[in-house]
Structure 1
Amino acid sequence: MTANKITPAIEYSWQQYVKGDRSGALTTVFKEYQRAPQNALALLFLSTYCNDHQLEEAACAASIADELNGASLFLWSSNGVPDPIRHASKISVEKLNQFLASKHVDHTKNSTVRIQKSCWAKNQKPKPGYLKENQSPHLFFIPDLPSNGWHDTSGLEWHKYFCEKIDSIRKEIISTWHNNQMLGRPYLKQPPNKEFVEISSNKNWESFDLYLEGKRCDFFKNLEETEKALEQAPLFCIDENPEEVFLSILKSGQKIPPHYGLGNHALTIHCPIIIPDSGCSITVNKEKKHWNQRDLLAFDDSFIHHAENESQDDRVVLIFSVWHPDLKNTEIADLQSIFKKRKLWLKKRNDKLASLG
């Protein structure tokens, strides 16, 4: 994680703020942000000093701080944190939540009732009774979508087509994987918490990307059967391409600790590529399953889940996401519009912050 560092400039800005000179404090900490844009604390104080007419700028600063250091927006509730940092963290969270909640209302006002009830789960706490036991999405949540973790998609046409092609998909993916080892990357650049240290920033959990952040990757070359099969599936897309499709390699003896995924708007699909005879499993909402060489696994990753490979060999699966089958086409179109607007806002945050200078 990016280090949180209180610098002399941040300390001085706090003194200005306490004395009632909010404008001076904002000027001081903005210069510090320009000098050290990777300092998440500078962004928290920048967010705090913004006035009521600068709510979007405050939200931009808080959001970037969160990306730099996932603990930033939780410092207000942590033990041993100095009062100025605790205050800045709490105010930043409140401003970010207020801005995103108001924008979400604007973005969903013409949507179906179910989409109007949706929320950005990290910034808007779902209403009581919405979430089920062991369900806690990091990003987005839609109420009233049927799910208990695992899903049976075997009756859907795209599922049948995919299963018929598994052998040819497996053959071409293994060949491409063996010939393009340099394209692999650690799936996690940084551990979200100490439980993930063993599988972060290394090849214990490795990814070979077919699509990443909506962009087609070099690994997808020569995967004709895989591409045909993916075209049959209702892939989770914000624009014309799926957001993420990747080959996931979990090394022998490694475990992916219990965690929650991004949201319940899509199902995560696992297509088996190399599955050791024993020792490999995935558990979703306390129900353990094993990969079948000739079938897909589908689950809602907003429920707690974890995986393990206790075999002597690598476990390799192709992972992609499809829209939740209960969503109507109009709802999918609404969600794509919402996600596009969010994506555009994220891209423009730095430009918005520059207006403070």
Structure 2
Amino acid sequence: MSDIQTLVAAATTAVNQGRWEQAETFWAQVFALDPRHPQALYSLGVHAFKRGELGKSLQFLQAAHASAPGDPSVLLALSVVLREQGDSAGELRAIEASLAADPYFLPALLAKAAHLELHGQPKAATATYRNALKVAPPESHWPPALRDQLLHGRACVERLGNALAGFLADRTDAGLSALTPSEAERWREASAIMSGQAQPYPAVCSTLQVPRLPAIPFHERSAFPWVAALEACTDAITAELRAVMDEAQGDFQPYIAYQPGTPVNQWLELNHSKRWSSYFLWQNGQPVKEHLERCPETAKALAAVGMASIGGLCPNAMFSVLAPHTHIPPHHGETNARLVVHLPLIVPDKCRYRVGFEHRKWTIGETLIFDDSIEHEARNDSDELRVVLIFDVWNPLLSPGDRDMVQRLSAAMREFQSVA
């Protein structure tokens, strides 16, 4: 190992151990051997800055930049010295040069945002803080030296987003009043996305995704001719539900039931738990005959609907029971070829449902029809059980030919998977 390599290693060790004076001595020895050594020049510039020797620091850092013109850290250090010398324009030029060398250099992005904020450009500063937060690692891995700056940047982004959201609402509320409820919700979501209060919610399917279908969170009940007849059966269906809850409680099984060794991710708390349980009438395309026989009015109502039929996947139909103070975490469904229907049967207060941007309350006897390939979650924050009848119907945006292709594609996949 050369003398310079030995000295660099010794200086690095000294820095890591907090022996600053000894480190500077080693860097000075490197500089004596190689006056253009960029790391020695940079380090000597930093040491001089710490002592308040701004002119000497600037000289070393400029030399370091000449030796390593593409090093963003050198340019950022230069910007700090220029700031202390009162050269605001020079500081910004050095920061911009650092970002030109590496547009994703997080300390330079934060430095630029802070400079803009200090000099009366809060919106430009917030845009830069937003970029910094995008390139930053997850919060649990934020560098300790940058954590306070990142927290401040996030607060700035949230503050400006709230201000923009209020401004957009003020300018658009009159237009919303002329729209249908679903149209108005669409444009509230557009404003939320524009102001950074929300992100777009795409369809994400774990099994079969039909491309080019719009991701519509909730579909209008009026678009489905069977809704009125189904809702008229609410009392009869509820009576059958209460009977099986009294007589066949053991047939309600945990809805989440991963095999040992399977990654459970967000389902850890609900895996094999009856806090979310189901009494299946149809499961993965197959009727559960004993359960259907116990619930003839429910079976008749489902038959009149005409559920989606995708072999091995659906129809599914079940009484879904959510225990008090239970949260079903955000997740996506299996396919956007079908929609999911909720017929609420037992709904205490403090129960909420979200699909994408939209939050809804369950109302007994009033269906919710939604695309479960969009991120969705449910909450029961009450002290009582919440129960809904859930089943699948075809996405009405699919033509008969589309439905045929869904079935063919699903059948082909099952056939492929069945062969060893």
What range describes the TM-score normalised by the shorter chain of this pair? 0.5 to 0.7
Matches within 5 A, 1:68-107: none
SS across alignment from 1:263: coil
| Deviation by residue 1:71-116 (Cα, 9 ceiling, x = unmatched) | xxxxxxxxxxxxxxxxxxxxxxxxxxxxxxxxxxxxxxxxxxxxxx
Aligned 8 A contact 1:180 1:219 in 2: no
Aligned equivalents of 1:170, 1:178: Cα separation in 2: 12
> Which residue does the alignment assign to 1:175?
243
Quote the residue 1:195 is aligned against. 266
Deviation at 1:286, TM superposition (A): 2.1
Q: Secondary structure at the match of 1:209?
A: strand
CA distance in 2, matches of 1:325, 1:161: 18
Change (3 A) 1:226 1:240: farther
Aligned mates of 2:314, 2:245 — CA distance in 1: 20
CA distance in structure 2 between the partners assigned to 1:274 and 1:141 by the alignment: 32
The one-letter amino acid paired with 1:244 is: N
- Figure out how many residues of one structure are paired with residues of the other and give that number: 217
Q: Do the aligned partners of 1:198 and 1:204 also contact (CA within 8 Å) in 2?
A: no
Question: What is the deviation of 1:343?
Answer: 2.0
| Equivalent residue, structure 2, for 1:11 | none
> Which one-letter code corresponds to 1:335 in the other structure?
V
Deviation at 1:148, TM superposition (A): 2.4
Q: Is the 8 A contact 1:286 1:305 kept in 2?
A: no
Unmatched 5+ stretches in structure 1: 1-131, 353-357
More strand by share: 1
Determine the C-alpha separation between the residues in 2 that align with 1:141 and 1:267: 13
- Amino acid paired to 1:204: R
Equivalent in 303, 307, 324 of residue 395 of structure 2: 324
1:333 aligns with 2:404: yes
Q: Deviations over 1:118-170 (max 9, x none)?
A: xxxxxxxxxxxxxx634322222112323321111334211121111111111
User: Does structure 1 conserve the Cα–Cα contact (< 8 Å) formed by 2:284 and 2:312?
Assistant: no
The question of 1:140 aligning with 2:219 is answered: no
Letter in 2 for 1:247: F
- 2: distance between equivalents of 1:171 and 1:228? 14
Q: CA deviation at 1:242?
A: 4.4
Cα 1:244–1:141 change in 2 (3 A) is: same
CA distance in 1, matches of 2:334, 2:390: 15
The CA distance in 1 between the partners of 2:411 and 2:328, in whole Å, is: 30
Deviations 1:35-82 (A, max 9, x none): xxxxxxxxxxxxxxxxxxxxxxxxxxxxxxxxxxxxxxxxxxxxxxxx
- Pairing partner for 1:304 from 360, 371, 375: 375
Greater radius of gyration (CA): 2
TM-score if structure 1 supplies the norm length?
0.57
- Contact kept, 8 Å, 2:322 with 2:386, in 1: the verdict is yes
The C-alpha deviation readout for 1:244-303, integer Å capped at 9, x for no partner, is 211111100110011111121110111112111x11111010211011112100110111
**Partners of 1:192 and 1:237 in 2: how far apart?**
29
Contact 2:356 2:376 survives alignment (8 Å): yes
Partner SS, residue 313 of structure 1: coil
| Among 275, 280, 283, the residue aligned to 1:209 | 280
CA RMSD of aligned residues (A): 2.0
Gap runs ≥5 in structure 2? 1-199
Q: 2:352 aligns with which of 271, 281, 303?
A: 281
1:160 and 2:194 matched: no
Contact 1:174–1:273 (8 Å) recurs in 2: no
What SS does structure 1 have at the residue aligned with 2:244?
helix
Task: Report what 1:270 is aligned to.
Answer: 342
Alpha-carbon distance between aligned partners in 2 of 1:300 and 1:193, rounded to the nearest angstrom: 23
